A and B are shown apart, each in its own frame.
Chain A
Amino acid sequence: KNQVEQSPQSLIILEGKNCTLQCNYTVSPFSNLRWYKQDTGRGPVSLTIMTFSENTKSNGRYTATLDADTKQSSLHITASQLSDSASYICVVSARGAGNMLTFGGGTRLMVKP
Chain B
Amino acid sequence: NAGVTQTPKFQVLKTGQSMTLQCAQDMNHEYMSWYRQDPGMGLRLIHYSVGAGITDQGEVPNGYNVSRSTTEDFPLRLLSAAPSQTSVYFCASSRAAGSRDYGYTFGSGTRLTVV
Contact = CB atoms under 8 A, between A and B. Distances in A.
Contacts, number: 53
Nearest to B42: A103
A50 B67 CA distance: 32
B106 A43 contact: yes
B42 A99 contact: no
A102 B42 CA distance: 8
A44 B45 contact: no
Contacts of B92: 43
Nearest to A105: B42
Interface in A20-39: 31, 34
Contacts of A93: 97
A18 interface: no
A75 interface: no
Interface in B47-80: 48, 50, 58
A77 B4 CA distance: 27
* Highest count of chain B CB atoms <10 Å: which of A34, A89, A99, A103: A99
Interface of A: 4, 31, 34, 41-46, 49, 89, 93, 98-106
7 contacts: A44-B104, A46-B103, A89-B43, A99-B48, A99-B96, A103-B35, A106-B42
